[in-house]
Amino acid sequence: MNYQQAKIRADILKALAHPVRVLIVNALADGERCVCVLNELAAIDQSNISRHLASLKRAGIVSDRRDGMKVYYRLETPCILKAFECAVEVVRADTKRRNKDLKAV
């Protein structure tokens, strides 16, 4: 793998690497949602959610569709959810390891 290829992968991961964006992607797992609903995922300004959605869209992870006044976002590549499972596995393994280290003391 060369640097350019690594950068492409890194950019996708970076697009996912924020708590609010993780919440958004997770919420979209079951299907499309309008911004108004996603707004309630975290206690932050509406403009902020809008920007997070924009960066997910830029990365190709979600796409949007307007219906009247509302805009609906949906996952373009549900495989993204696997990346989360993996993250959980890292944390779980890490916790287990640290506990073992503690016992060894």
Partner DNA sequence: TGACCTTATGCTGATATGCGCATATAGTAT
Partner DNA sequence: ATACTATATGCGCATATCAGCATAAGGTCA
Given its own copies, DNA, none, residue 16, with its beta carbon under 5 to 8 Å by kind, binds: its own copies
Query: Which residue lies nearer to DNA by CB, 50 or 99?
Result: 50
The four Cα atoms 28, 30, 32, 33 give a dihedral, to 10 degrees, of -70
The residue whose two tokens read 């373009």 is: 76
Query: Which residue lies nearer to its own copies by CB, 68 or 91?
Result: 91
Q: Which listed residue (67, 68, 79, 104) binds its own copies by CB under 8 A?
A: 79
Query: Which residue lies nearer to its own copies by CB, 22 or 35?
Result: 22
Contact 78, 63 (CB under 8 A): no
User: What angle is formed at CA 17 by the lines to CA 10 and CA 80, rounded to 5 degrees?
Assistant: 75
User: What angle is formed at CA 92 by the lines to CA 90 and CA 98, rounded to 5 degrees?
Assistant: 100
Using CB under 8 A, list all residues that contact its own copies. Answer: 1, 3, 6-14, 16-23, 26, 42, 59-61, 76-77, 79-80, 82-84, 86-91, 93-94, 97
